[in-house]
């Protein structure tokens, strides 16, 4: 009696590899887009927190740019800070009665052409630069 060999043929293995390749080619762009979108949250949180700190200064000193305001001092002379994961750099233009904060992408996030720079003003106006629309980005 002849015994049957067990195992996977080369053809079966190649078919499985092609299927895995097709699935990966479909899934990877979606994955990258999701990562970009989640990184945008980092910029929005940093802008909102900075704006809130500046509003506290305005409440205390009746000026966004008071010398006693640590939140305003970090933006003095073109200064700013990087977000915790380093995907954005937040800078600001601070005046006595107005401010504009900007979060510019850094590193891998610069490939996000849809929502490049995020801006936030003292009146709560949110803006972006890029090919996307403000509602989708914010």
pLDDT tens profile 10-23: 999 999 999 999 99
pLDDT at 1: 56
The answer to whether position 131 is within a domain reads yes
The answer to whether position 100 is within a domain reads yes
The answer to whether position 99 is within a domain reads yes
The answer to whether position 5 is within a domain reads no
The alpha-carbon radius of gyration of the chain (Å, integer) is 24
- The answer to whether residue 100 scores a pLDDT higher than 90 is yes
If you average pLDDT over every residue of the chain, what do you get?
Answer: 92
Q: Give the domain range for residue 130.
A: 10-137
pLDDT digits (tens, 9 = 90+) for 32-72: 889 888 999 999 999 999 999 999 999 999 999 999 999 99
DSSP secondary structure string for all residues of the chain: -PPPP-S--HHHHHHHHHHHHHHHHHHHHHHHHHHHHHHHHHHHHHHHHHHHHHHHHHHHHS-TT-TT-HHHHTTGGG-EEE-TTSSEEEEEEE-SS-EEEEEEE-GGGGG--SS-EEEEETT--EEEESSS-HHHH-
The answer to whether position 78 is within a domain reads yes
The answer to whether position 2 is within a domain reads no
The answer to whether position 15 is within a domain reads yes
- The answer to whether residue 124 scores a pLDDT higher than 90 is yes
Q: How far apart are CA 70 and CA 84, in angstroms?
A: 19
The answer to whether position 103 is within a domain reads yes
* Residues linked to residue 104 through DSSP beta bridges, in sequence order: 89
Number of domains in the chain: 1
Which pLDDT band, with edges at 50, 70 and 90, does 5 fall under? confident
pTM for the full predicted model: 0.79
């Amino acid at each position: 009696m002849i015994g049957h060999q067990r195992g996977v043929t080369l053809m079966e293995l190649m078919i499985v590899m092609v299927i895995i390749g097709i699935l990966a080619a479909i899934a990877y762009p979606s994955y990258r887009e999701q990562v970009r979108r989640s990184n945008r949250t980092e910029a929005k949180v940093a802008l909102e927190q900075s704006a809130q700190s500046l509003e506290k200064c305005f409440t205390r000193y009746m000026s966004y740019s008071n010398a006693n305001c640590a939140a305003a001092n970090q933006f003095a002379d073109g200064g700013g800070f990087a977000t915790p994961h380093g995907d954005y750099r937040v800078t600001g233009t601070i005046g006595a009665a107005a401010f504009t904060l900007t979060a510019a992408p850094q590193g891998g996030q610069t490939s996000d052409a849809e929502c490049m720079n995020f801006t936030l003003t003292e009146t709560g106006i949110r803006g972006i630069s890029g090919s996307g629309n403000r509602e989708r980005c914010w």
